[in-house]
Amino acid sequence: MHTFEFIRPTDSAAAIAAAAQSKTAQQGADVRFMGGGTTLIDLMKLNVETPARVLDINRLPLDKIELMPDGGLKIGA
């Protein structure tokens, strides 16, 4: 696995701002969000994904499922 900088943003805005500086996925993104990590960590072990920075968003308050007034569902992250 390549080395990377591990960052835990304090809110969604900080996470978005940090990721906005990154190249797109097609250009070989160098910033990746860490959610469950089940795919990302696996691919990092195989050096398929080699992000320079990993943003851990697990502790942001996004794990909600809300019923919307129009009958839809809003799923957190």
Q: Which residues bind other proteins (CB under 8 A)?
A: 1, 3-6, 34, 36-38, 41-42, 45, 56, 58
In the bound complex, what is the minimum distance in angstroms from residue 60's beta carbon to other proteins?
Answer: 13
For other proteins, the closer of residues 29 and 37 by Cβ is: 37
Region of 28 please: left (phi>0), alpha (psi -120 to 50) or beta. left
Q: Which is nearer to other proteins, 65 or 68 (CB)?
A: 65
Which of 4, 15, 19 is closest to 52 using CA atoms? 4
Q: Minimum distance from CB of 16 to other proteins (Å)?
A: 20
